[in-house]
Amino acid sequence: MRSGVAVRPALRPALPAVVWVRLVPLLLAACSDPAPALPGHLAPCPSTPNCVSSEALPSDTTHYIEPLRPPNGVGFPNNALVRLRNIGVGMPRTELAGGGRTSLRLTVSSRVFGFKDDLELRVDTAHSLVDVRSASRFGWGDGGVNRERVEDLRASWTRTFDAPDDGTVPAPSARAVPVTE
C-alpha cells in the first residue's frame, strides 16, 4: 500500500486461444517421426493410432489398410504413378512433396488448423498393387482422417479405370484432371 492506496499486482494476460490450439497438439504429440523406411518400402507407422499403412501387418487392425489394386479383371496400368499423381494433386489441400520412379509423396494440410499430414504411395508392379501410407505428423489420434483419406484415394483410383479415353482422370473433387506422362 502506498499512501493509503492498494496496489494490485500486475496480471499477466492469459495465452490467446489460438496459441493453445496450436501448442496443445505439440505438447501431447508422441514422437511421430517414423523409423526410416527400408529400401523399396514405405516408412513404418509409429505406435500411435494416427497412421495407416498397407505394409503394416494385417493383424494390426489399428494401422493396416489394404493396398490399392486395379479392379478385378483389369491389368495393372503402365501409367499408375501418373494416375496417382493426378488424383493426389486434385485432392483438397494437397501438394506434391516429391517422389521417384515408383513412389510419390504428398503433403495434406488439415482442414481447420492446417496441420501437415503425409501421404506416401509406392507402385509395386511385380505384385500389381500400390502400397499406401497416410500419417499425421503430430498428435496421438487422427479421428479416422488418414483411413478416410486412403479410402477416398482408393475410390478415385478405381474410377480411373472407368475414365473415358480422352485422357482424363476423375479426381476426388469430381473434376477431371488431364493425364500427362
Residues with Cβ within 8 Å of 92's Cβ and at least 6 positions away in sequence, in order, are 111, 172, 173
Residues with Cβ within 8 Å of 14's Cβ and at least 6 positions away in sequence, in order, are none
Domain span at residue 54 reads: 42-163
The answer to whether residue 121 is domain-embedded is: yes
The answer to whether residue 18 is domain-embedded is: no
Query: Which CATH number fits the domain that encloses residue 56?
Result: 3.30.310.80
The answer to whether residue 30 is domain-embedded is: no
Positive or negative, the CA dihedral 59, 63, 69, 72 is positive
Question: Over the stretch 15-52, which tens digit does the pLDDT of each residue have?
Answer: 566 554 555 554 444 444 445 556 678 999 999 999 99
The answer to whether residue 90 is domain-embedded is: yes
Question: Over the stretch 50-109, which tens digit does the pLDDT of each residue have?
Answer: 999 999 999 999 999 999 998 877 888 888 999 999 999 999 999 999 999 999 999 999
**What is the pLDDT, as a whole number, of residue 22?**
56
> Number of structural domains, the chain?
1
The answer to whether residue 6 is domain-embedded is: no
Question: Over the stretch 140-150, which tens digit does the pLDDT of each residue have?
Answer: 888 899 999 99
- Are 33 and 44 a contacting pair, CB within 8 Å? no
pTM of the model: 0.70
- Are 146 and 136 a contacting pair, CB within 8 Å? yes
Flag whether pLDDT at 165 surpasses 70.
no
As given in the structure block, the three cell numbers for residue 118 are 503425409
The answer to whether residue 116 is domain-embedded is: yes
Can you state the angle between helices 80-90 and 145-160, rounded to 10 degrees? 130
Helix, strand, coil shares, percent, the chain, to 5: 25, 25, 55
The answer to whether residue 60 is domain-embedded is: yes
The answer to whether residue 27 is domain-embedded is: no
